[in-house]
Structure 1
């Protein structure tokens, strides 16, 4: 017996409208759907991963942090492979963030030198692009983590948050991809000499990328980074770039929740790593074009408190200086 039930996670009105749509509309929507360029920011801060465990012994805590970090990297690779395989033309870039710095681990953008990808090109396989991405991500992440651990062992005391730097680099990377796509399309359009039908067909298939940023964070909020973080958030909002956040192993972050809310992204907090792949696939894998017809977990409890410039902490009540454009904590007399 046939069932009229609507699939879970899809709005009923959208499912019904899809049943009565014509095949011509479906073909046009496929042509109009631009590929996704996803930038993933991995929080590789060794101190944050160790603090996320309540083990008393230092060696046990370090070993548990290493195992969880390795599991997270493996799961992220599966998610990235699924994203690349979802649609022809999908692009991806991965940034790693540690204390005070961030580096590009892998990207499919053509303007990056090939030596940045991987050093091993000997394997001949139909899945070579996936293997190259896996190898490059593991190699570059290991170098970044090793360098961060050596700095910690040497007594380095960096206080800046690498996530802010990684987000800034991600937005710059997206801007480069967008500029390159516009230049390529303009040159191709100038050289194209065909009928109007061919031009229309090409116009439908070269509409550029839908850009998204996914932050996989372990590090807690740093009030000292409030201004640069909000600058990045407002820049992404102005460019129409969605910021998604998967908060791992720790308390929720106020600033990243604001980033998701202001850019129409999704925020999901995971107290453990159990089911990480399922969360990545169900919440963060759907493209920007299909998200309006899906139902996601609501994000109602957004904390819009600002950070005090003097005391470096979030405040409930404050006032703004006209000249300095700063938020200061209100001092109350007894």
Structure 2
């Protein structure tokens, strides 16, 4: 039964009291992150103390941040059979002392796994020694939301960061031998030069794992309140951060040509096939490999995005002033 009206309730204060996930349900499903498999997902905290305007996480949790105790986290890791672990926290280093305690406890227990988590670039720069410890116990990669390549973009998004900090984080991770998975936001107002600048930034920093999303005013966010009068579709299937629900400066077809070109520049077909073959030799299932290659093909194909729009939505996409598209 679908509730017609949402009623908020009190948050669970002690997350340690939550039961362990019933992982037997997905046994054999074959979750993976890139070629990391089998992959187990572990939640150690909920919420985020920062206030990025586009993010739905902190409004969802009403601005709170709560973490499980290090003992509870490691207890779950000890019964997890998967060799690769993705911590699904939105900001794993939000409480650096807790992160340090988790790492120290993992080390004392002699737990051998490979870890990936999400963190802000300023935390990476500030807590380099903490990253060093995590590297020692198996940290393989860090997801970092760079989002913008200019201080003006970051200010608009209320990231409370500077591009120079993002650049420092790249160097820290490179020095420590930790993979960087960087995400960037493509604004619907982008013109050809801004797309080119983003491609240049990614290539000049040698970022090998990059993802791109379209700026989307998700309901409940500050961005939604700012831009709700400009939204051109109420079809929530388009609110997937891959489809623009705001007018684009470029004609939509050209916008997605440029969007796909970002992926084409970062991921060459030859490299993907070479990495895939290497993973297959090491035991990665052929079925999973073919699915990944198909996904890569879709991400770099404009028609994959354009087919989601109905005719009425396309008609309502009134472009911005011509000078923005140049």
TM-score computed with the length of structure 1 as normaliser = 0.29
Larger RCO (CA within 8 A; separation ≥ 6): 1
When Rg is computed on C-alpha atoms for both structures, the one with the higher figure is 1
TM-score computed with the length of structure 2 as normaliser = 0.30
